[in-house]
């Protein structure tokens, strides 16, 4: 049986975000066609949900080993240096995702303290920003899972 990693919470979140984007966009098109005006909230929510969809999809791709990687050097190396390279890749990715999580959480907290409101609807800005550190932390967890699986030989650069 082939090993098939999954990221169900992120898949569901991404699917839900895509469905909501589709519904509110369709509703906006119908409203614009019928009344000549548009719904005020659609652009702000669509942009927010697109960010959620992007991060959720990136997390699923990490777990499924689906991100683009140039494996030429990795395939050419013997086992021990290959493992060191995989570990180096994981550490570099973890540093980047850790920084995004940290600074995203810091920005979210500052927006909460400042009580900033979104420009379109006047909703608290931190509602939108909260998803950045949450989903980048999910990506960090998926990166660790992927790196461990690659080190154990359960995933390779051809899958």
Q: pLDDT class for 29, splitting at 50, 70, 90? A: very high
Q: What is the pTM of this model?
A: 0.89
Q: Do residues 1 and 147 touch, judged by C-beta distance below 8 A?
A: no
Percent of the chain with pLDDT over 70: 96
- CA dihedral 128→130→136→138, nearest 10 degrees, is -120
Residue 128 CB contacts under 8 Å (≥ 6 apart), including other chains: 48, 51, 118
Q: Average pLDDT in the 120-128 region?
A: 93
77 burial (CB, 10 Å; 0-12 / 13-18 / 19+) is middle
Q: Average pLDDT in the 130-136 region?
A: 97
Per-residue DSSP letter, 64: T
pLDDT at 1: 46
Q: Average pLDDT in the 15-35 region?
A: 95
Per-residue pLDDT of 97-117, as tens digits, reads 999 999 999 999 999 999 999
Task: Determine how many CB atoms are found less than 10 A away from the CB of residue 7.
Answer: 22
């Amino acid at each position: 049986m082939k090993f098939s990693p999954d990221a169900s919470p992120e898949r569901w979140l991404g699917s839900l975000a895509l469905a909501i984007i589709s519904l509110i966009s369709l509703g906006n098109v119908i409203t614009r066609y019928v009344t000549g005006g548009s719904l005020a909230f659609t652009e702000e929510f669509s942009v927010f949900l697109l960010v959620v969809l992007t991060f959720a999809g990136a997390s699923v791709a990490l777990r499924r080993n689906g991100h683009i990687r140039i494996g030429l050097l990795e395939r050419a190396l013997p086992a021990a240096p290959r493992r060191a390279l995989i570990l180096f890749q994981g550490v570099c990715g973890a540093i980047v995702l850790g920084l995004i999580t940290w600074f995203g959480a810091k920005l979210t907290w500052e927006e909460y303290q400042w009580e900033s409101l979104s420009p379109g609807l006047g909703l608290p800005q931190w509602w939108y920003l909260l998803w950045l550190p949450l989903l980048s932390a999910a990506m960090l967890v998926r990166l660790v899972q992927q790196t461990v699986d690659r080190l154990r030989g359960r995933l390779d650069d051809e899958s």
